[in-house]
Amino acid sequence: MPAAKKPRKSVKAVPAEPESQVAAAPSPDGASPRGSNKRILLVDDDQEIVESMRTVLETRGYQILVARDGNQGLVMAESEEPDLVVLDMMMPKRSGFLVLEKLRRSRPDPMRVIMITANEGSRHKAYAEMLGVDDYIRKPFAMDRLLESVDRLLS
């Protein structure tokens, strides 16, 4: 039986920046940026969504790390110890659920996690909440919704 295709996400593309860049953007008034020294790991295989989130979060002063699949996300979460992980549910190699389960089992202090998904099923949300996800956002979403959650969890 062929695998179900992921629904197309409606996100406006933005220019890509090098993935190795993790410097916080300076604030316009010269003060320390809001997210100064806070690191966020984005784990998603959709480049358009990653670049949109990266651009918005970097303008708030957050340092951004990117992983393109579940295995890479898990390795980076464990080695880089970000302050927050924004985790897609449906990804190649390891689903967001499997990443979340592993993070919850392997860490004494839970890492903050926002799960994003195009899946509309309430069972998936209930399972994510049972695993201890800090927020659950359905795609497509307004970037203001993501920013509100990130700011709340990292304040």
Taking Cα atoms as reference points, which of 34, 40, 46 lies closest to residue 22?
Answer: 40
Taking Cα atoms as reference points, which of 91, 73, 90 lies closest to residue 82?
Answer: 73
> What confidence tens digit (pLDDT) does each residue in 97-140 have?
999 999 888 777 889 999 999 888 889 999 999 999 999 999 99
**Total structural domains in the chain?**
1
Domain ranges, residue 144: 39-154
Is residue 105 a part of any domain in this protein? Answer: yes
Is residue 98 a part of any domain in this protein? Answer: yes
Is residue 6 a part of any domain in this protein? Answer: no
Per-residue pLDDT for 28 more than 90? no
Per-residue pLDDT for 147 more than 80? yes
What's the whole-model pTM score?
A: 0.77
Strand positions, DSSP E, 9-134: 39-43, 63-67, 84-88, 112-117
- What one-character DSSP code corresponds to residue 155? -
- In angstroms, the CA 59 to CA 114 distance is 19
Per-residue pLDDT for 40 more than 80? yes
Is residue 66 a part of any domain in this protein? Answer: yes
Is residue 21 a part of any domain in this protein? Answer: no
Domain holding 56: CATH number? Answer: 3.40.50.2300
Per-residue pLDDT for 79 more than 70? yes
